[in-house]
Amino acid sequence: MCLAIPAEVIDLLPDEMARVSLDGILKTISVGLLDEVAVGDYVIVHVGHALARIDEVEAQRTLALLAEMGVAAEEGR
């Protein structure tokens, strides 16, 4: 139900709408729930609406942490 998926904003349209791409799948969604959106942003899309913007810096940090956790565990064996 709370299914939502990150997609890249590729075009801003009138009336708070935007075109987004998920790996080449294109869809028109509403971005009216976000304060500001720019082309190139990744947004979380839920039932045709963008709910949140993805923070690239935090995403990189999370991925680094995930990699680190795994490596630490392997070394600890």
Binding flag, residue 12, other proteins (CB under 8 A) = no
Place of tokens 């904003």: 9
Binding flag, residue 27, other proteins (CB under 8 A) = yes
Q: What is the DSSP string of 26-51?
A: EEEEE-TTSS---TT-EEEEETTEEE
CA distances from 24 to 12, 38, 49, 56, 59 (A): 17, 18, 18, 20, 21
CB of 10 to other proteins, least distance (A): 11
CB of 38 to other proteins, least distance (A): 16
Binding flag, residue 32, other proteins (CB under 8 A) = yes
Could you list the residues that contact other proteins (CB under 8 A)? Answer: 1-6, 8, 22-28, 30, 32-35, 42, 44-49, 51-56, 58-59, 61-63, 65-67, 69-74, 76-77
